[in-house]
Amino acid sequence: MEYPLSLPRDGRTIVVIGSSTGGARTLEVVFSQFPLVDAAVILVQHMPHSMNSALCRHIEEISFMDVRVPEDGEEIEHGTIYVAPSDLHLKLVENRTISLFDDAKVQYVRPSIDVAMMSLTRRGTDRFAGVILSGMGSDGAEGISHIKSIGGTTFAQALRTCAIHYMPRAAFATGRVDQMLPPDAIRENIIRFAGII
């Protein structure tokens, strides 16, 4: 599958990655030597609050992206990975600004991958990709369907490569996943989709 590498000047490219149990190993592969891409990457990882800073530091060490836990009201920028903080939902307002809030858990989790993905809206020349990695439960399945419905590109981790395959399996069951891929191929497809700065 080929993707355009150029981004219209007035558009945003947003990649939302959802990960849970077993996802840390996959993220190690996805972000190893990950170049500075022409996209904002939102990572929703189910994890204890104490791991937020450590995960950011590790991804920043192995990639060329700026990595941080965002603040409420922060405007997204290309070339940055935003790690959703534990215990708070994250959504994007008009595909531009991050909103953090502590509403009830969705699919038994907070932050919820579904909440983040479903906040994306069809807007101008904005482009979207959604990715579901290893994890328990079905968080992200509804979000993947939404991203596909607004013209986005969708991937899920190949089941044979998952420590826990339930989240990718639930996403695949929606019929809205473009490709099931191993972690190294997910990495390459994200880079191809976004383009390098």
* Total structural domains within the chain: 1
CATH number at residue 75: 3.40.50.180
The model carries a pTM of 0.94
The predicted pLDDT at position 7 comes to 42
Q: What tens digit of pLDDT does each residue of 108-167 get?
A: 999 999 999 999 999 999 999 999 999 999 999 999 999 999 999 999 999 999 999 999
Task: Evaluate whether residue 20 is within a structural domain.
Answer: yes
The yes-or-no verdict on residue 62 having pLDDT over 90 is yes
- Which residue in the list 46, 78, 146, 165 is annotated as catalytic? 46
Does residue 189 belong to any structural domain of this protein? yes
19: domain range?
A: 14-194
Q: Exactly one of 19, 20, 86, 134 is catalytic; name it.
A: 20
Whether 3 is covered by a domain: the verdict is no
Residue 6: inside a domain, yes or no?
no
Instruction: Look at residue 8 and tell me if it is in a domain.
Output: no
Residue 2 domain flag: no
36, 52, 190: which is closest to 127 by C-alpha?
190
- Examine the residue annotation and report whether 58 is marked as an active-site residue of this protein: no
What's the pLDDT tens digit per position in 48-57? 888 889 999 9
Residue 2, pLDDT above cutoff 50: no
Amino acid at 76: I
Q: What is the mean pLDDT of residues 168-197?
A: 97
Residue 170 lies in a domain: yes
Is residue 126 among the annotated active site residues?
A: no
Catalytic option among 38, 114, 126, 139: 139
Residue at 57 is within a domain? yes
Note if 46 is an active site residue: yes
